[in-house]
Each structure stands twice: as C-alpha cells, then as structure tokens.
Amino acid sequence: MKKINETFICIHCGREVPLAPKTCRNHCPFCFTSLHVDGEIPWDRASTCGGKMVPIAYEIKNADYKILFRCEKCGKQHRNKRAEDDEITLLPEVLKISSK
C-alpha cells in the first residue's frame, strides 16, 4: 500500500494544511479537524464516508500525543498520532469547543 501525503484546505478553519514531516497528514495542525478518508488502515484513503472528523479526546503515552477523532457523519472513531508540527498547545481549547 502506497502512503499518500498531500496538502489540502481545512474544511473547518479554511487554512492551507502543509505536507506532514515524516508521515502522512490526515488532520489540520491548527484546528485538528479532518475528513473521514481513511479506511481500516491509516493513510490508505479508502473510506467513501467523507464525513467531518473532529477531535474528542487525547492521551499522552511515552511522550507521544494520541488524538481520538470521531466522524460526525457515521460515528466511526479512531486514534491518530500527532504530527511533529501540530499546534498541540491549542488542542485543549479545540476539545472544549468541539464538545459543545
């Protein structure tokens, strides 16, 4: 399976999302919103849902942030490791807003 790392415009905040360093990006590094594009394998872009994925929680394990996302369309949840250029200090505030 070929990894797909591409830029995109965030559907939530409208900012241009840059390529991810060392991985494939699937969420905005500013507001942490994404589209439900991955199927069962991260970065496979095999889902046809296309719903808006919002962060609902996170955990820190071995100094790595794991963010839990939920699709607003189909309800699927999945965890994703943060990218090294994510604005991680904004995540707690984003979670407060997305939980309302």
**pTM, to two decimals:** 0.85
The CA distance from 17 to 20, in Å, is 9
The b/e string for 45-79 (b: 16+ C-beta within 10 A; e otherwise) is: bebebebbbbbeebeeeeeeeebebbbeeeeeeee
Per-residue pLDDT tens over the stretch 2-42: 667 788 899 999 999 998 887 778 899 999 999 998 888 77
DSSP state letter for 97? H
